[in-house]
Structure 1
Amino acid sequence: MVNLIRRWVDRGQPDADARSWRTAHHSTTGAAHLRSGAPCQDAGTAEVLDEGAWAFVVVADGHGSDHCFRSDRGAAFAVAAARQVVASFHRELRQVGGTPTIKTLADLWDTEARRLVPSWRYLVHADLVDNPPRLADLDREPGLRRFLDKVVGEGRHDRNYQTYLQLHWFAEYAGKRRDLAPERLGPLPLPSDPTWDVATLGGWQARAYGTTLLAVLVGPTSVHWLRIGDGAMLRFVDGRAQRLVEPPAEAFANETPSLCDDDADRRLVVDTDPLAESDLPSALLVTTDGLPNSYPSEAEFLHFCDDLVVRARRGDDVAEGLTRWLPELSRRGSGDDMTVALAWVGGGRGDHVAEPVRAAPVRSEAPAVEQPVVEEPPDDRPGGAMHEVVEEERAPGEPDESTPGESAPGESALGEPTSEESSPAESAPESEGNECERDADSGRAAQQ
């Protein structure tokens, strides 16, 4: 007991047997999308299982390319597919019984995680059949209009005609399958599938829903993750953030693996790590690339994350805080959508308990993502000021708006800055994330 208390005080984390996870997450529409009228193309969730013994965090970043005109739905379907993976893993683990070895856990996670791509393609197929893109719906689906405008703008009249015909023929294809039972519909076939008439129907369908996906599941003795595409996956040990896994090499060339790729099952990265007592994480965080891309350096991004975890573990309402901080970070940084999903050990608010997940996917519209309106820049952002902020003048003796009894983030207890603030980033180029801009003949995007 003495050692347990000492470890809690010195390292800020309890023994594995006593650990209880809490969670929070939020998605916000990027500043660039607010200006253009585009929807938020991110999605995410953070949930606990077994009364906090397990937790999982998931984010998805739909591509901003005009070719990916339903990527907001694709991101929501990716999160839904990841929840199915976690639910299936958790259900199968209960059947194992006893204390499973790390090999058993890793093998089971690998088996279930490999179902992600087919599950996502099923949800995409079901949505396309229920809601095929139609020329008559251009006013209702602005993304489709932007896609067709791009095709027309390329000036290839033969391709324009072919695209319009493919939309017409796919609507007929969908009408013949709308009454099929889910198990008979199956995943969206690949363009190379002999059952798919690519000359008639085209190969644009999966690309329209293109998205990345990052997911981490943590339990008493292991941490499991899967990744396809860019973003940040962090774990916090001894109060410091560290990368759980580095971004894919392609991300640095403004290109990223995607669930819409024909070889997505091969590009999906899956792994399991055992948790040793010497490196038990106090928190896990995943985020789409809009957040790290808003910081001039990796160190400043990690400082924000470190501070966010400190606030969560001391009991601050970080879920509410994210609704204010993320819009302002996007406005002053990348301009991109942002999603943060956080799980931590200890006190605080949160605890989104995972709802039961059906084994078979169901057809549904992608859930809408909350789009908060921020009137004034928040001055309590974790990590201190990211960019220069003009402070309002205060009357002599008037307290600032920091947390009562504390110094503002990024300042010492005496109010002295602990580090220099960054320069304004208003003129920085706005990022739409690593978009699915590969040509149709690249081999990774479907032929049109």
Structure 2
Amino acid sequence: MLIALDARCQGSEHIKTGRPCQDFTKAAANYWKTNAYAIVADGHGGEKYFRSAEGSRLAVSSAAEAMNKVLKELLFYIKKKEVSVIDKSLKNLCSRILLLWREKVKAHFTENPLSEEELKLCEELKINIPVGEDDIFMLYGSTLLSSVYFENYEFWFSLQIGDGKTYILKEDGAVVTPKELENEKAAFGVTPSLCGKNAIEEFLYTFGFEKIAGICVMSDGLTDSFDLEKLPDFLISIKNNAIQDNEKTKTELNKYLPKLSEQGSGDDISIAGIFVKERKGYV
């Protein structure tokens, strides 16, 4: 049985400067609680990304929508363990998410013309009016992390563009980050984004056939605010508490994250997770 949890908070520095929370999250299990997904998006904080709070919301909805459409299709290949086809399907999923996000961004921009204040910002930032397509995407710039677990088939996958972290909670108690999702550009202060011209080439993804205890995805606001050596224990604690009482755990996290932001990076913080709860009499 799978339990899905997500929590986020507005960063303490964002509160001081009057900026909205630019992180967005979603986690959900299917009706039978046999597969679930966890998604986090982190809108960029720079001045030129002034609609990134909306961009992160659209990123999460695009990922959820795209995944819901392909999970049944993917399940067919998971059952047969056709690794090469699964790899191709996940690459196509990244393309679907990106295209859907761009469609949603363009629709939102059309339905919500730039305000006078936003027009002034464009002038200050030397963004041409009318705003070109590439600049529209830039205004909504966001990262994205998403993970799925199929409990019955002991199969998981994760995809990512930009910074943030994905952690796999192993059956033996180990907590690890997939090497395939390590972003080399981030080490040089460059963050790949959904708004980038080469976004499709900068998606990272990985998958595995193994029984796990859970998966967590999180924005860099959390990893920059937490002692990374203690983070595995923190995630295991969240898992254990969520299994006992998911709603209480989510409430407590939503209370704790603002304090963590204030003591740490001051950035928005978001986390989403999938955790395995053994069914009584379930084999």
TM-score by length of 1: 0.57
Shift in Å at residue 51 of structure 1? 1.0
Alignment of 1:37 onto 2:18 = yes
Please point out which of 128, 132, 135 is paired with 1:204.
135
Q: Which has the larger radius of gyration?
A: 1
Structure with the higher fraction of residues in strand conformation: 2
Measured against aligned partners, the alpha-carbon deviations of 1:333-357 in whole angstroms (never above 9, x if no partner) come to 1100011101101179xxxxxxxxx
The corresponding residue for 1:307 is 237
Alignment of 1:322 onto 2:253 = yes
Structure 2: distance between partners of 1:203 and 1:321: 40
Structure 1: distance between partners of 2:119 and 2:259: 29
How well do the aligned residues superpose, as a CA RMSD in angstroms?
Answer: 2.3
Alignment of 1:254 onto 2:189 = yes
Residues 3 and 274, structure 2, Cα contact 8 Å, conserved in 1: yes
Structure 2: distance between partners of 1:215 and 1:21: 16
Give runs of aligned pairs for residues 195-344 of structure 1, distance below 5 A: 201=132, 203-219=134-150, 220-237=153-170, 238-245=172-179, 246-275=181-210, 280-295=211-226, 297-315=227-245, 317-344=248-275
Shift in Å at residue 146 of structure 1? 7.9
Q: Which amino acid aligns with 1:217?
A: V
TM-score by length of 2: 0.88
Structure 1: distance between partners of 2:212 and 2:72: 24
Structure 1: distance between partners of 2:2 and 2:20: 32
Structure 2: distance between partners of 1:68 and 1:53: 38
Instruction: Give the unaligned 5+ runs of structure 2.
Output: none
Where 1:51 maps in the other structure, the secondary structure is coil
Give runs of aligned pairs for residues 72-87 of structure 1, distance below 5 A: 72-87=53-68
Q: Which has the higher contact order (CA 8 A, sep 6+)?
A: 2
Q: Which amino acid aligns with 2:223?
A: P
Structure 2: distance between partners of 1:270 and 1:235: 14
Alignment of 1:63 onto 2:44 = yes
The corresponding residue for 1:99 is 79
Where 1:230 maps in the other structure, the secondary structure is coil
Structure with the higher fraction of residues in helix conformation: 2
Where 2:47 maps in the other structure, the secondary structure is coil
Return structure 1 stretches of 4+ with deviation > 6 angstroms.
none
The corresponding residue for 2:96 is 115
Where 1:308 maps in the other structure, the secondary structure is helix
Q: Which amino acid aligns with 1:289?
A: D
Q: Which amino acid aligns with 1:319?
A: K
Name the CA shift for 1:111/1:304 in 2 (closer, same or farther; >3 Å): same
What is the percent sequence identity of the aligned residues?
25
Q: Which amino acid aligns with 2:238?
A: L
Where 2:233 maps in the other structure, the secondary structure is helix
Where 2:229 maps in the other structure, the secondary structure is helix
Shift in Å at residue 73 of structure 1? 0.7
Where 1:343 maps in the other structure, the secondary structure is strand
**Deviates further, 211-220 or 252-261:** 252-261
Shift in Å at residue 125 of structure 1? 0.8
Structure 2: distance between partners of 1:102 and 1:225: 17
Where 1:204 maps in the other structure, the secondary structure is helix
Structure 1: distance between partners of 2:86 and 2:21: 35
Q: Which amino acid aligns with 2:182?
A: P
How many residues are matched?
Answer: 273
Measured against aligned partners, the alpha-carbon deviations of 1:209-261 in whole angstroms (never above 9, x if no partner) come to 11100001111231111110111100111223211345311222232100010
Structure 2: distance between partners of 1:244 and 1:132: 41
**Deviates further, 305-314 or 31-40:** 305-314
Structure 1: distance between partners of 2:155 and 2:13: 39
Name the CA shift for 1:102/1:314 in 2 (closer, same or farther; >3 Å): farther
Q: Which amino acid aligns with 1:236?
A: L
Structure 2: distance between partners of 1:207 and 1:241: 34
Structure 2: distance between partners of 1:97 and 1:330: 42
The corresponding residue for 1:357 is none
Shift in Å at residue 149 of structure 1? 7.5
Structure 2: distance between partners of 1:314 and 1:50: 20
Measured against aligned partners, the alpha-carbon deviations of 1:390-448 in whole angstroms (never above 9, x if no partner) come to xxxxxxxxxxxxxxxxxxxxxxxxxxxxxxxxxxxxxxxxxxxxxxxxxxxxxxxxxxx
Shift in Å at residue 203 of structure 1? 4.0
